[in-house]
A and B are shown apart, each in its own frame.
Chain A
Amino acid sequence: MRSSHPPIVATWLLEHLRSDKENESLIGDLMEDYGRGRSNAWYWRQVLAAIVVSSCGEVRAHVVIAIKAMVTGWAAQFMLQFVAWGLLNRFHLWLPLHHMLLLFFGYGIAASVTWLILWTPIWIGSGWFVGGLYRSRLASMVLVFSASVLIWKLLRLPWTIHLLFNAAGNSRYLPELVVELMGLILPSVYIVLGGLLAGISKRDSSAQRAQIMT
């Protein structure tokens, strides 16, 4: 059954990922139209379209800044990767952790968990870094970085498809396919999450500033 309130998460995303001056009026319009019987799917479609249209417009208007944001994101990712590997090697954590997981849960879980432990903070961190650095254009710059990572990851698509066929024929390849799919999709999602975190901390600090001013 359809609720009388529009999806909260969608509205929240629109508030945080679209920064145009007309944002409040747009959200009000969407709520009003939703109240007249539009579906949840319609609301989500409208929200996602609004974010993409606004971000594309901003990227087109500020191409140089978008390129800088992409380069910054990739640099942050390499730096965080370097630090993470350095820490894991320094404290000899990586192999014992991987072996322990392998022993108790098998290859699939071990590979997935180690991937998540290593790459989750790296990708979220790089998204957060770009979001924090380009606060006035947070959504568009984080999305452009996320898109660049997705395009880069899609270069591995032939290998993913190859694994998909292998896994369809033999379940032994399933764990490898899961890790491959995680590596394909999750980095872009994590970057957006990191950007959202930067947006939340930005709003909090703005609220604190407003409180101090009063």
Chain B
Amino acid sequence: MRTRDYLGSFELMVMLALIRLGENAYGVPISREIEERSGREVALGSVYATLERLEEKGLVSSDLGEPTAERGGRAKRYFRVTAKGLREVRQTQVALKKLWRGLPQLEGGTV
């Protein structure tokens, strides 16, 4: 059997936020997206640590944007999911779906 690393839960959240945001994915909208959908405050430091890890694995790539005054002259870093990253998310989704199936304890709940 092939052994491989699956995405962790927070890594998966970040990847899904990136896919959802498309071209406009940088720190602030990524953390807002996760906060709004999960209902929990997210530390931007954790988002960046995760993005750096995903970039090292080749699942995400990034580019620097233009510096703006409201950011104290600091540039935005835009992130996007690579083809390898997209494949990884799909494989995680398939694995999770298989694990989810046939669990009566997890059916019908709202939270």
Contact = CB atoms under 8 A, between A and B. Distances in A.
B74 A31 contact: yes
Main secondary structure on chain B at its contact with chain A? helix
B43 interface: yes
A50 B48 contact: yes
B27 A29 contact: yes
B45 A26 contact: yes
Given A20-B52, A22-B52, A33-B28, A28 B71 contact: yes
A22 B44 CA distance: 11
B51 A24 contact: no
Interface string A1-45: 000000000000000001011101111111111010000000001
Contacts, number: 74
Interface in B46-64: 46, 48-49, 51-53, 64
Interface residues of B, number: 23
A160 interface: no
A57 B26 contact: no
Contact of B43 (A25, A32, A50): A50
A15 B101 CA distance: 47
A contact face: mostly helix, strand, loop, or mixed: helix
A28 B71 CA distance: 4
B75 A25 contact: yes
A115 to B, nearest CB: 35
Given A20-B52, A26-B27, A31 B45 contact: no
Interface of B: 26-28, 31, 43-46, 48-49, 51-53, 64, 67-68, 70-72, 74-77
